[in-house]
Structure 1
Amino acid sequence: MDEIEMDLENDLPFCKLSKDFPQVSFYRWCNSAIDYLEFYGNKEDLDSLEKYVPEIEKSLNTNSLYRSRSGGRLSVILSCRCNVSNSTIRKAEHHNLMWKAPVFYNGGHEKLSVISPRSEDFLGLFKDLEDVGKVRITKKIEVDPDLVRDIYSISLSDLFSDLTEKQLRYLVSAYHNGYFDVPKRTNIVELAKQFNISYSTLQEHLEKAVNKIMKGIEPYLTIALQMMGGKE
């Protein structure tokens, strides 16, 4: 079993976006339901990119579920419309490979890492990627199957597939406003005012969201506890 890291250049939507905004670096997470993008750059470049978001939606035939701007970061959540023809990670899945999140984009280049159980599967992916652009292997190492859970343990679908759009939006806002900090930088009443809802309604949404995420990570908490072997 191999872990293979590639540097890609192509005109698929996200790599093309990186070409159009070469000074902006961004990360991409995807679970076939949503694409979560984190963009980093200076104010002028992020201003231009934020105005370009409708064009991203148009090219992918999708829509934004959430957008947040903080300092040198722009976060965007899109309804996922990825398929084998427009997404390198869907191509990887099509060839029975696991891809490692996040995928990184900078200067028109895409860094994609995959776990390949069989060499013939990777060769199929490599050919498909060559058909749409340039491919360069930057790293290839053998991976012990017992370590795959550490490399590829928690998927976005495990964590977020059961969350509603409102729960996700409120949870992200609560986090960025310091509601989960110790000590807290805001309280539930102030947060609720931002959304023009009652604090009890917001509290219910946050509790449900946290409960769903805890259910998603519970198996990994159990594994971690067992691996600690009773250490205090």
Structure 2
Amino acid sequence: MMPVCDGMEEIEFDLVNDLPFCRLSKLFPDVSFYRWCNSAVDYLEFYGKDEDLKKVSDFLPEIEKALNTHVIYRTSRNGNLSVMLVCRCNASNSTIRKAESKNLMWKAPVYYQNGHEKISLISPVSENFLSIFDEFGSIGDARVIKKAEIKPELVRDTYTVSMSELLSALTTKQLKYLVNAYHMGYFDTPKRVQIGEMAKEFGISYSTLQEHLEKAVNRILKGLEPYLTIDLHIRGDRED
């Protein structure tokens, strides 16, 4: 009889290995990137200095060769490089496919920075996590950095939130400054950078940058409010 589960677990892993995308992160440690994959295409968003992104772009033929694939879309602008590849991933060259082979769901996007890969996996069966942990350990370093129990309805929400709808209210400038502020450590605790330092680097005034960031955060929170309210209702009076 199939076991009945009231909840699921989500575990976030920090991985270091020599699979193609993690190796790419090692080669360009000053560039961070996100990865989405639907088994038909891999979509990558790179962030960093323009000179570093140029090096990544020039290296793409090596990625095509390593994965036996080809680039079908590429665009770049200040601080960002977006690339779409035909997916050629399998359980031997991709942590995503490895997770799927163990009946685990993965939560997009996967994040890469400084040779590390961060991937969140979801399953109602703990044994699946033990199996994938051994699998990840066999190809490199694997560390669990977060573990939480989640309700099945929250899994549904995770996979149905529309990013275009959520972010459509943001202007390009607001999105640019918000993303850069995040990667520079403005939202870290403690902050790794102050708003005045960022404003100077961006060439704008303190008050202008503060206004852009406040509007961006407020608009994202407004879009997320229904989901936050649902989650608060589900949690009830529980205090963490």
User: TM-score range with shorter-chain normalisation?
Assistant: 0.5 to 0.7
Q: What's the counterpart of residue 22 of structure 2?
A: 15
Instruction: Tell me how many residue pairs correspond in the alignment.
Output: 161
- Structure 1 CA distance for aligned equivalents of residues 98 and 83 of structure 2: 23
Correspondence 1:36 to 2:36: no
Correspondence 1:54 to 2:61: yes
Correspondence 1:151 to 2:158: yes
Correspondence 1:117 to 2:124: yes
Deviations 1:119-172 (A, max 9, x none): 0111111111011010110000001112111123369xxxxxxxxxxxxxxxxx
Q: What's the counterpart of residue 135 of structure 1?
A: 142
Identity between Structure 1 and Structure 2 (%): 63
Q: Secondary structure at the match of 2:73?
A: strand
Q: What's the counterpart of residue 72 of structure 1?
A: 79
- Structure 2 CA distance for aligned equivalents of residues 153 and 139 of structure 1: 23
Deviations 1:78-97 (A, max 9, x none): 00000000000101110111
Query: After TM superposition, which residue ranges in structure 1, 4 or more long, deviate above 6 angstroms?
Result: none
Q: What's the counterpart of residue 82 of structure 1?
A: 89
- Structure 2 CA distance for aligned equivalents of residues 30 and 82 of structure 1: 9
What amino acid is the match of 1:147?
Answer: L
- Structure 2 CA distance for aligned equivalents of residues 120 and 152 of structure 1: 23
- Structure 1 CA distance for aligned equivalents of residues 81 and 144 of structure 2: 30
TM-score by length of 2: 0.64
Q: Secondary structure at the match of 1:152?
A: helix
TM-score by length of 1: 0.66
Q: What's the counterpart of residue 25 of structure 1?
A: 32
Q: CA deviation at 1:51?
A: 0.5
Unaligned runs of 5+ in 1: 156-177, 179-223, 228-232
What amino acid is the match of 1:24?
Answer: V
- Structure 2 CA distance for aligned equivalents of residues 58 and 6 of structure 1: 27
Unaligned runs of 5+ in 2: 1-7, 163-171, 173-226, 231-240
Deviations 1:70-127 (A, max 9, x none): 1110000000000000000101110111100000000000000010210011111111
Correspondence 1:104 to 2:111: yes
